Structure formats: structure tokens, C-alpha cells
Amino acid sequence: MKKVADALRGTNGVKIRQGVELGKRIEYFKGEKLIAWLLESENPKRPDIDDRKEATRLARLLLRNQFFHRSEKSEDNKKMLRPTKAQEWDDKGYYTWMYEGSKTFSHFMTGALIVTFLACTCFPIWPKWMKVAIWYCSVTLLIIFFIISVIRMIVFLIFWIFGVEFWILPRLYDESITFAQSFVPLYTYEKLEEGQELYRLGLLAMTAFFVYWVASQPSEFDEFLLASRKFTDDLYSGNLLPERAQAEKDDIDKVVIPDLDDLLKEQDDGEGGPVDEEDVVSKFMDEKFFSGEDGEDEDEDDNGEDEDKADDEEKKEL
């Protein structure tokens, strides 16, 4: 049965359809398609079955061993399915695959996903030419997607004015389908229902006003085109990225330790005049090493004079 299931899930296997069941994307087929494949397929891995009764028996065994389960379509959406309580074979029924086939390709894709994730994580240490190439590819794909979206919207509005609903790539934003299915069909063409004439006239008036504005104010429209072109150039060249943020990332491991000249200069800028080196050193030593702390004991207060004398002697030595 596993060999038969592999053949059914293979390239020349039973014809499947895409759908959604319990919030997950699934593949399903119709029972009579499976029986026809078992009897008429030219796949060399097909079992040697010429009797419809034997084909039905094999299909029931596959169902009983949970290679697939029986489902039913929703009345509102034909792409939505749900499992049925009665898991009995019926040629007219729909069946959802539970068996995923060979795991070799799945393991390969999992390994590729892990390698890709690690490569993206190590993006900061990539060579500069790879970063630039990724940037150009990302910007190009973003611009292409934006242009397609704008064109399909403009074309839709133009046809909508004349009472036709025309969409280029109508399933482009449908998240319940695969990537390849997003580009099928290429377009849809349907006539609008009655009752939208007022909205269409309003859109026609707005379009006429826009055309008049472009014709009467060519300089402003040219400035808009120049600004768009400049924005695209800046986007490709990377001028929109903050330079300070990149500099901070490059210098993140650099620790700057100020020397005595820097301290003197900072002190000079803060007080507005030259400062003696001995005064700076004396003040630094007083604050760092010889400053008293709150909450001292009474015994330390009694010995305060002796400590002050010792401090004066250490200062003189310094």
C-alpha cells in the first residue's frame, strides 16, 4: 500500500487539487479519479489491477490505513473542506491526503532552510559585494511589485468607468493559494451590475480634472517625475540609509580611553579658561580616592585628623 501511495503521490500520479481544511492548505482528489488511475494509468509503478472491484478494495484499504481521509466541500466556498464523520469509501466523495510521500525532498528543504537562516543571521560579516547584490535585488523586486500594483489599479479604474470589472492577476494578494497559483488566471473580465453609474461618473470627472491639471501645469508634473526619479536613484545608491547608524555598528568594538590632554581640553572648554595640570590631578585624586562617604562610624571620625595628615603627605609625594 505504501508503494501504491508513493505512485499516487508521484509525478504521474492521480490528479490533485488545492484547498483549505481546518485553516491548513491541503491536497485532495475525487474518488472516481483514483479508481480511474488504478485501472487506466500508464505509470509503471501502478499495481496490476484490471478489475474495478479490486481497485475499489485497494482504495478502501488505503482509506482504512489513513493514507487519506474523506472530506466534504463547504457550501459557501468550494475551496474550503472539512472532514466527515462517516469515513467510508464512495466514488463520488472527496479525499484529503494525509500521507506526504517520501521525506527525502522534505529533509533537503529543511536543511536548505537552516543554512539560509544561518546565512541571514551572519549577514553583518558578509562581503560588501554580497550585501550590495542583495540590496539591488531587494530594491528591484520591491519596485517591480509596486509598478505591477499601480498598473493593475489604473487599468481596473479605466475599465470600471465603462462598466467592466477587469483585473490583471486577480489572485495576486490571495494568501490561501500557492505562489504559482497567484499568477493564474492572467486576467478576469466581468460586466458590472446596475446601480453604480453615479460612482462611475464621479470617477470620470476626477480623471478629467487630473488630465486637465497635467496639461495646464506641466512644470509641476515634471517636478513630480524628477522627484520620483531622484528617489529611485537614492534608493538604489543607498543614500536613504542613515550613515551614523552604520558608523556606530562599525565602531561598536572600539573603546575610546581619554588621555590627560583630552581631560585638560574638556576641562578647559567647560570652564572657559586654561587650567593647571596639578589642579586637575589634585581634584581628580580628591574625588576618586580621598573623598569621604556618608554613614562613617564614630571611630573613623576620631581618627580623622591623622588621616588628613596622611592624605597631605601622599599629595605632596604625588
- What is the pairing mode between strands 17-21 and 24-30? antiparallel
What is residue 295's predicted lDDT score, i.e. its pLDDT?
45
Alpha-carbon distance 127 to 247, whole Å?
17
What is residue 171's predicted lDDT score, i.e. its pLDDT?
86
Alpha-carbon distance 293 to 295, whole Å?
7
Query: pLDDT at residue 223 above 60?
Result: yes
Q: What is the assigned CATH class of domain 2-102?
A: mainly alpha
Give residue 225's Cα distance to chain centre: 30
What is residue 294's predicted lDDT score, i.e. its pLDDT?
46
pLDDT in tens, 61-88: 999 998 999 999 888 888 889 898 888 9
What is residue 70's predicted lDDT score, i.e. its pLDDT?
93
Which has the minimum average pLDDT: 101-105, 110-114, 161-165?
Answer: 101-105
**pLDDT tier at 298, thresholds 50, 70, 90:** very low
Measuring CA to CA, which residue among 72, 90, 93, 91 is closest to residue 21?
72
What's the mean pLDDT in 95-100? 89
Measuring CA to CA, which residue among 48, 33, 41 is closest to residue 12?
41
Measuring CA to CA, which residue among 51, 66, 50 is closest to residue 1?
66
**pLDDT tier at 297, thresholds 50, 70, 90:** very low
**pLDDT tier at 274, thresholds 50, 70, 90:** low
What is residue 182's predicted lDDT score, i.e. its pLDDT?
84
**How many CA atoms lie less than 13 Å away from 154 in the CB half-sphere?**
7
**Locate cell 558608523: which residue?**
247
Predicted TM-score of the model (pTM): 0.43
Give me the chain's average pLDDT, please.
Answer: 79
Distances (CA, A) of 315 to 168, 277, 289: 86, 14, 11
pLDDT in tens, 129-141: 888 888 888 888 9
pLDDT in tens, 15-41: 888 899 988 899 999 999 999 888 888
User: Alpha-carbon dihedral of residues 26, 27, 30, 31, nearest 10 degrees?
Assistant: -90
Alpha-carbon distance 46 to 59, whole Å?
13
Contact 45, 3 (CB under 8 A): yes
Could you write out the DSSP letters of every residue in 197-239? HHHHHHHHHHHHHHHHHHHH-HHHHHHHHHHHHHHHHHHHHTT
Identify residue 302 by its one-letter amino acid code.
D
Query: pLDDT at residue 10 above 80?
Result: no
Per 3-state DSSP, what percentage of the chain is helix, strand, and coil (rounded to 5)?
A: 55, 10, 30
What's the mean pLDDT in 221-242? 75
Q: Which residue ranges make up each domain of the chain?
A: 2-102, 127-218
Query: pLDDT at residue 167 above 60?
Result: yes
Sequence-distant (6+) residues with CB within 8 A of 30 are 92, 93, 94, 95
Query: pLDDT at residue 317 above 50?
Result: yes
What is residue 265's predicted lDDT score, i.e. its pLDDT?
78
128-161 helix and 218-237 helix, angle to the nearest 10 degrees: 150
Which has the minimum average pLDDT: 9-13, 84-88, 137-141, 146-150?
Answer: 9-13
